[in-house]
Chains A and B, each alone.
Chain A
């Protein structure tokens, strides 16, 4: 059975790094679920958070192969308990003005925000862990959800230690 894994990778901010990483996953048949890349606090480096789907039996191998790449400073997997993880999502819902109230209720319960509104549509913004976003998607689905964008998972280690 394939499983989902979240890996945080600290890399040199150089051209080609991302290709080398994605090649490593593709070669071993891992599919990338989400990928976030941004400059680190020290701009000579980048932080990457990647969520992949694949065989648990090859997971340690992949981590070692990532760490073997010259531009990878470290690649680490994390237990969900020792990290803060967040994701952001935008949802576009096509909705008749008469039915808006119902959606506003959901938005409130989820502590989401309505960031755009027209006579036919709403854009809703939310932040949270991935399961919260999954749940909101499920509820909005039958109410006219036409588009969704997710940022991909961000991970940061709890406490003073570096991610």
Chain B
């Protein structure tokens, strides 16, 4: 068999269902080998960035590794944004890139790009295969690395001559990774210290991140929270790690988190990060973050300890395993007063939005949440609609919420929904996107239409790059610059051109009716273009770099000048 057939054979052995790809000269032998492997379904995308986001959405929604296959040069460099997105959010991807023949490497051959070098800072690991004899082992290693430990993207660059060469492969080669160990169970004395700290706490807070979802530890977190009677906050990517409909949930924390979550953060005497990494949109000003709280950090990646916050107790290991080890030592503590206090914050500062002034994105999203009983898989893009979705669409289970958190990649939401729907044929999948981000990857409408995927594409159209406009209004004296999306198309008509069903939504009174119709439509994708209030803002808000206690719960009075944020974004 030749190298390409070896690649395909290993993909089959790994149980791959879908390959998201786009062909080109350098990867033609692999596309040729795929003809004889119908069990590997090749999803032909319209742009390689779309392929990476689809593989990412598939991976986040199923827990399996997403696979991308593209050609060399521009095909490969078009995947970089998607690889960064997956890297920042610890998503398992294997990205196979075609490459020019080995004798041409480094000679500026046609469609040659040093993608091994280009992607090095944004991959978990990468390979340039120079010998067909190494091929099967390397692809196996790529899957192992992508999916184990802290997951991440692994790139394998495949020169055309290597995949064209004949080799009698027996597929028996062992993984050769002497520098790679994964710590699964935690250090028992650290775990005992955690139990002791929890027992002493009067105002604990469980801070649940993506690691909980990746590890599949929602069950353990629920147990821990219920034994302790401790409030739980989830990060943007931790949504689904603990049901937001549970009475102990305080929802999302951080820059656009709920007021009561952030007040809980400020007031707690113990904060326990469970697979979370103290992102700068959560801590705000680090020097003022949780000054009087004991900080516990559980993470599979020891490089996260002390990166932002120096923990008082850290436990290195898989979240579910560590919690299983911890739970027998945990005793109920008295948090009645603490929960009462949080309850008053919840009553005083609920999430809310103006009921007047035309159609509101928040209204649409809250109604979507109600009509789907918080059960749909939600994939978002990046911007105001993302934060409103995070606030108003409740996540109740793992792998239900897909969003580009670390990288904040516009254009992610729609292709990720395609991957999620392919991986979960029976689930309702809703892509919540803005008019800006959607236009970055809407060429994938063809991909969704061809496969008749019943994705509901909800476009929150305010004809603005709303989040940037919000910052310009609040911090730059309302000097609008480069945010007007004048020239937006009629998105329903765009859909029509692909044979996709569309709904206009313009009036607040039509929200329920239109959403119901869209949710009932399952013959293929549909577009709901919600033409919402132009200049709405997301609140609460902690200005970037400010302390959590400086949160703006509501819109500041008009004309009030705010300090320019010192945090980067």
Query: How many A-B pairs with Cβ below 8 Å?
Result: 41
What bracket does the count of chain B residues touching chain A fall in? Answer: 10 to 19
Query: Which of A1-39 touch B at CB < 8 Å?
Result: 11-12, 15-16, 19-20, 23, 27
Interface size grouping (class) on chain A: 20 to 34
Given contacts A11-B179, A27-B121, contact A65 B116 (CB under 8 A): no
In Å, the complex CA distance between A61 and B307 comes to: 6
B117 proximity list for chain A (CB < 8 A): 19
**How many angstroms between the C-alpha atoms of A128 and B66 in the bound complex?**
53
A78 within 8 Å of B (CB atoms): no
When C-beta atoms are compared, the residue in chain B nearest to A61 turns out to be B307
CB distance from B287 to the nearest CB of A (A): 13
Q: Find out whether the CB atom of A15 lies under 8 angstroms from the CB atom of B179.
A: no
Listed residue (B116, B177, B180) with the most chain A CB atoms within 10 angstroms of its CB: B180
The answer to whether A135 has its CB under 8 Å from any CB of chain B is no
Q: Which of B34-42, B122-130, B538-546 has 4 or more CB atoms under 8 Å from chain A? A: B122-130
Expressed in whole angstroms, the Cα–Cα distance for A67 and B177 within the complex equals 13
Q: Are A19 and B128 in contact (CB under 8 A)?
A: no
Say whether, besides A19-B117, A19-B120, A69 and B179 are in contact (CB < 8 Å). yes
0/1 string, A22-62, CB within 8 A of B gives 1: 01000100000000000000000100000000000000110
A130-154 interface mask toward B, CB cutoff 8 Å, 1 = contact, 0 = none?
Answer: 0000000000000000000000000
Contacts of A74 in B (CB 8 A): 179
In the complex, B15 has a CB within 8 A of chain A: no
* CB of B178 within 8 Å of the partner chain: yes
Q: A12 near B306 (CB under 8 angstroms)?
A: no
Closest-by-CB residue of B relative to A45 is B178
Closest B residue to A44 by CB, please name it.
Answer: B178
The 7 A-B residue pairs with the shortest CB-CB distance in the complex, in nearest-first order: A64-B303, A70-B125, A73-B179, A68-B303, A72-B179, A70-B180, A65-B303
Residues on A lying within 8 angstroms of B by beta carbon are: 11-12, 15-16, 19-20, 23, 27, 45, 60-61, 64-65, 67-74
What is B's interface to A at a CB cutoff of 8 Å? 116-117, 120-121, 124-126, 128, 145, 177-180, 301-303, 305-307
What would be 26 A-B contacts, judged by CB atoms less than 8 Å apart? A12-B178, A12-B179, A16-B120, A16-B126, A16-B128, A19-B117, A20-B120, A23-B120, A45-B178, A60-B306, A64-B303, A65-B303, A67-B302, A67-B303, A68-B302, A68-B303, A69-B179, A70-B125, A70-B145, A70-B177, A70-B180, A71-B125, A72-B179, A73-B178, A73-B179, A74-B179
